[in-house]
Amino acid sequence: MKVLLLDKNHPLITEQLLAKNFVLEEDFSSSYDEVCDKIEQYDGVIIRSRIPLDKNFLEKGKNLKFIARVGAGMENIDIPAAGKLGIQLINSPEGNRDSVAEHVVGMLLVLMNRLFIASQEVKNGIWKREENRGDELLGKTVGLIGYGNMGKATAKRLSGFGCKVIFHDILPGLSDEFAQQVSLEELKQLAEIVSLHIPLTSDTRYLVDETFISEMKNDFYFVNTARGKNVETKSLVDGLKSGKIKGACLDVLEYEKSSFEHLETENEDLKYLLDSEKVIVTPHIAGWTHQSKEKLAQFIVDKITASYC
């Protein structure tokens, strides 16, 4: 099989697929149109997020048998069109579930214990104890929205901190030893921390908006390691200003470029988030550890070879 690699990934993908007699071509720089012009030559494509694989792209790939996304999110692929064309879609959310879960816990600990603020103050000769009194995770009710690979790994970690973990998911019957499934309405009644672990779809775009925030019974901490456009930033900022949202941990932002390479918009809401002591912001790296890079690639290779060797 002839496979086109459109993004740089761990070298084990190339090494192991070549060993299985796949024919590979790397193209990390061609534009969307340039790739469209030659895609019919290939049986498979391995991507991250650089180029959107829309209906036009897929129809030009007349010989495509699979698309492999090294990662979890599939929003840059026209999934219905791929299904109609009989193209298998492969991803590897198992590969970075642990890094995402650890990132969630890490951000919460930094935010709730004012670790970054206190450290910077001491380094600048400022010694404040009462002002930097922390808030414990122990005993908090954490509401996860989405209970796939990321949600389950996060629940496992937080249950070890003595949190009561509940979750909402569109699929039924997912409760386990780490978390109990509830309705979204019940989650809004009980949760003191809310963390998103959902894909970006028409149903989840701006799921967290003014209405969502106003329906939360408790003032709460908010975590987003999913997708930036799951959250309406203006409503998030308003919630932070009012105190309804006690603090936010954001690894993703509404204003990211679709390839996640950088921010493409700057405005007053974004400026507030970046300036606020109540907000921790990281550059879309929750699933971006040395270990996850290898695991993401290995899961992709294993799935491709299971189907095509």
Which one of 48, 103, 114, 284 is the catalytic residue?
284
Displacement of CA 137 from its chain's centroid (Å) = 22
Rounded Cα distance between 148 and 54, Å, is 25
Contacts of 260 (CB under 8 A, 6+ apart): 49, 284
Question: What is the amino acid identity at position 177?
Answer: E
**Listed residue (198, 178, 192) closest to 100, CA to CA:** 198
Contacts of 306 (CB under 8 A, 6+ apart): none
Rounded Cα distance between 59 and 68, Å, is 17
Which one of 103, 157, 227, 254 is the catalytic residue?
227
User: Do the strands 88-91 and 164-168 form a parallel or antiparallel pair, or are they unpaired?
Assistant: unpaired
140: DSSP letter: P
Is 182 in contact with 170 (CB distance < 8 Å)?
Answer: no
Residue with tokens 């048998």: 65
Is 144 in contact with 167 (CB distance < 8 Å)?
Answer: yes
For the question of residue 227 being annotated catalytic, the response is yes
Burial class (CB in 10 A: 0-12, 13-18, 19+), 54: middle
Q: Which two tokens stand for residue 61?
A: 């790939």
For the question of residue 284 being annotated catalytic, the response is yes
Give the E-state strand segments of the chain in sequence order: 2-5, 23-26, 44-47, 66-69, 88-91, 141-145, 164-168, 180-181, 193-196, 220-224, 245-250, 279-281
Residues with catalytic function: 227, 256, 284
